[in-house]
Amino acid sequence: MSWMLPVVALLGGLQIGAQGGVIDGRAIDRDGAVLPGVTVVVSSSALQTPRTVVSDGRGAFRLTGLPAGTYDVVLTLPAFKTLRGQVAVRADQRAVVGFHLDVGAREEVINVRGVGVAPAPAAVRPAQPAVVPIRVGGAVREPRRLTYVEPVYPAAALAAGVEGRVVIEAVIGRDGMVSRAQIVQGVPLLDEAALAAVQQWRYSATMLNGVPIEVVMHVTISFVR
């Protein structure tokens, strides 16, 4: 999940009567395109139960009759990162807030088994699963893995009985190449083999509104003897 604050937070001085405060929000993507269908959950100690609304065709949502206080706001939409922020509401006033949602990180999970024999050379093969484009207010086409190099279980790790999980964070570039790969959680005898494989993977470009963008990728590789 991504912890982010609203990009715009203006406490308006518009008086709206004695029916409580109002949050007027709008959800947009990084290109400024509106995002319909965003689920918005608002909670606060000032409310007995959280309130949920969905953004309309203009990406807009409104909550009315709110007691004064600070509200936690969570926005979710498939293919986008969960966005969390806070909005201050004053009695009988309107808080106008804009929320930027970014494309979500790609997750890859790989299991590598060593059965006590020397590993075979890495094989390059096209990936099988296809990704169906997801259409939202801003059109998103998720990356599809085109080339897969299987991680090789290091012989030294096998001989030493070493198992473990290597977690890598990397970036899929606009050209589909993997860059800036780094170990987030590692095992010394396994890290190099995991990185060497991931750095050779290739993807189709991630598209937002028809334009290629960079996207973060998290890879978990489990080495099990």
Q: What is the pLDDT of residues 61-117, one digit of tens each?
A: 999 999 999 999 999 988 888 999 999 998 888 999 999 999 888 888 888 887 544
Q: Which secondary-structure segment (H or E) carries 206?
A: strand 206-208
CB atoms within 10 A of CB 70: 11
CA distances from 41 to 64, 84, 162 (A): 13, 10, 45
pLDDT > 90 in the chain, percent: 54
Instruction: Count other Cβ atoms within 10 Å, centred on residue 12.
Output: 13
Out of 1.20.1070.10, 2.60.40.730, 2.60.40.10, 3.90.180.10, select the CATH number for domain 2-101.
Answer: 2.60.40.10
The CATH number fitting domain 106-224, selected from 3.40.630.10, 3.40.1360.10, 3.30.2420.10, 3.30.110.30 = 3.30.2420.10
Kindly report the pTM of this predicted structure. Answer: 0.61
Question: CA-CA distances (angstroms) from residue 3 to 27, 73, 80, 102?
Answer: 16, 11, 13, 11
Give the largest Cα separation in the chain, rounded.
76
**More confident of the two residues 59 and 130:** 59
Question: For residue 33, what are the CA distances in angstroms to 30, 78, 132, 140, 201?
Answer: 7, 16, 21, 11, 31
